[in-house]
């Protein structure tokens, strides 16, 4: 199935500016398993979206959205990271805009590496409940808890919505916007965007949202962001910086509650609407 159930003429790779790359991987998650089912659930739910976006008055699918075959490498975290990096790099060579759909958060590592090589000097904006700044976890530097430690090796980073971390992860807290500090405020948005370079890759872990609206994640944390405040911030990022790619990760589908699946699909399409705006 194509993302958005988009007709073939708007979903063939050669006709598409946008590529959806599913990575159904869930080897290193440490609590609730099931993120490997996230990409299929998101794509299935996306078939029920309206493809006209009211807020931006656009239909982003006219730019072409190709749903690529999934990256299925699962021998080790290192092998998966390399496989994702190679697939992303191959699409970047074709000048595609890539959306990686996870899967657990470790799938972002290879995508960030490929983008940083294509766009030197880019920054990484992380929206997440967790800092993910451990140098190593459970024997791997490519664990889901190490994503931003790997990103910082190549890119400046800004982290938003954080509300869970180990003490050792607080070393670089000057670019962290903790959830408890930004609740009910808007001034932090200016401060966060000012820290970002011109080119930005966004990595969005769905547990950045409060569990009251996004319960289907592997490690839900109370006190998260809500829908409209997050969209307000994301729209400003897309307007004020050049977003070169993004990922949405960590959906653990619940077969009896499809609303979070649709939430994730709608979020991806909203972000594409912010990026591509008017019909081509």
Which parts of the chain register pLDDT below 70? 30, 172, 278-280
Structure tokens at 243: 């977003």
Q: What does the CA dihedral 136, 141, 146, 151 come to, rounded to 10 degrees?
A: 130
Q: Give the DSSP letter of residue 71.
A: P
pLDDT digits (tens, 9 = 90+) for 112-160: 999 999 999 999 999 999 999 888 877 788 888 899 999 999 999 999 9
Structure tokens at 141: 């530097």
Domains observed in the chain? 3-276 (3.40.800.10)
What pLDDT score was predicted for residue 136?
80
What pLDDT score was predicted for residue 278?
54
Strand positions, DSSP E, 179-225:
199-205
- What's the pTM value of the predicted model, to 2 decimals? 0.96
Structure tokens at 77: 């975290």
Distances 171 to 23, 124, 142, 149, 151 between C-alpha atoms, Å: 31, 18, 20, 11, 15
Q: What is the separation of C-alpha 112 from the centre of its chain, rounded to a whole number of angstroms?
A: 11
């Amino acid at each position: 199935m194509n993302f958005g159930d988009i007709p073939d003429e708007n979903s063939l790779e050669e006709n598409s500016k946008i590529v959806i790359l599913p990575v159904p991987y869930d080897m290193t998650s440490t609590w609730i398993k099931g993120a490997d089912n996230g990409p299929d659930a998101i794509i299935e739910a996306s078939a029920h979206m309206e493809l006209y976006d009211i807020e931006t008055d656009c239909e982003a699918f006219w730019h072409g959205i190709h749903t690529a075959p999934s990256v299925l490498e699962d021998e080790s975290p290192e092998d998966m990271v390399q496989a994702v990096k190679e697939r992303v790099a191959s699409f970047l060579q074709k000048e595609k805009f890539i959306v990686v759909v996870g899967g657990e958060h470790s799938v972002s590592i290879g995508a960030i590496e490929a983008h940083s090589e294509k766009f030197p000097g880019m920054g990484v904006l992380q929206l997440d409940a967790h800092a993910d700044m451990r140098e190593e976890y459970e024997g791997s530097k490519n664990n889901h808890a190490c994503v931003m430690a790997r990103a910082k090796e190549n890119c400046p980073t800004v982290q938003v919505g954080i509300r869970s971390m180990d003490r050792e992860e607080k070393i670089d807290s000057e670019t962290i916007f903790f959830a408890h500090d930004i609740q009910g405020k808007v001034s932090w948005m200016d401060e966060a965007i000012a820290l970002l370079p011109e080119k930005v890759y966004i990595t969005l872990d769905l547990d950045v949202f409060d569990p009251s609206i996004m319960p289907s994640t592997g490690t839900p944390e109370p006190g998260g962001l809500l829908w409209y405040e997050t969209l307000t911030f994301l729209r400003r990022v897309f307007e004020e910086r050049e977003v070169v790619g993004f990922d949405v990760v960590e959906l653990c589908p619940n077969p009896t509650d499809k609303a979070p699946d649709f939430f994730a699909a709608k979020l991806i399409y909203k972000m594409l609407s912010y990026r591509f705006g008017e019909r081509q």
